[in-house]
């Protein structure tokens, strides 16, 4: 087998084995800070450029003791939120984490963050791969990434 052919085979198998984290691209990542140590909401758009669905299964941050995946929804006219096990990112599609829907719930800040800070969140996918993302901290009255 020629060296060139071998290199081609290795490249082909490499792309087939690409992790979910390599296929998912994060944008518009921001955190809404709330006063008095209340949990902060983390929001981000996750775009999947793969032909395979990806699944966000966990998140953590060096700046918060605990990060959970949550979903807000209206039940009988009241906004409630529940913990979810995972958030699907369809093949060639995206998942939008935004106020009123899916979000990261960041609890117990290790140092009190302030607006303008960049906070690192590590997103972990169903295949075990992980993607570090910088989130911009915004004040309580913010409605978007600014
Ligand atoms: Cu929540």
Question: Which tens digits make up the pLDDT trace of 65-89?
Answer: 999 999 999 999 998 999 999 999 9
Bridging pattern class, strands 118-125 and 54-60: antiparallel
Is residue 130 included in any domain, yes or no?
yes
Residue ranges of the chain with per-residue pLDDT less than 50: none
Is residue 11 included in any domain, yes or no?
no
Is residue 4 included in any domain, yes or no?
no
CATH (domain of 48) = 2.60.40.1890
Query: Ligand 1 centre and the CA of 81: distance in Å?
Result: 6
Structure tokens at 101: 């829907």
Query: Ligand 1 centre and the CA of 49: distance in Å?
Result: 27
Domain with 50, as residue range(s), is: 20-138
| Domain count across the chain | 1
Is residue 38 included in any domain, yes or no?
yes
Query: Ligand 1 centre and the CA of 39: distance in Å?
Result: 8
- Within 8 A by CB and 6+ apart from 28, the residues are 43, 44, 45, 144, 145
pTM: 0.86
């Amino acid at each position: 087998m020629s060296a060139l052919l071998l290199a081609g085979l290795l490249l082909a198998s490499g792309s087939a084995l690409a992790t979910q984290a390599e296929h998912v691209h994060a944008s518009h990542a921001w955190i809404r800070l709330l006063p008095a140590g209340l949990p902060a909401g983390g929001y981000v758009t996750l775009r999947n450029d793969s032909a395979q669905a990806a699944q966000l299964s966990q998140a953590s941050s060096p700046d918060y003791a605990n990060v959970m995946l949550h979903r807000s929804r209206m039940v009988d006219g009241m906004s409630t939120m529940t913990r979810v096990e995972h958030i699907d990112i369809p093949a060639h599609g995206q998942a939008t984490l935004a106020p009123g829907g899916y979000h990261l719930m960041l609890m117990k800040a290790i140092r009190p963050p302030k607006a303008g800070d960049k906070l690192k969140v590590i997103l972990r996918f169903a295949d075990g791969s992980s993607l570090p993302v910088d989130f911009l901290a915004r004040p309580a009255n913010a409605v978007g990434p600014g």
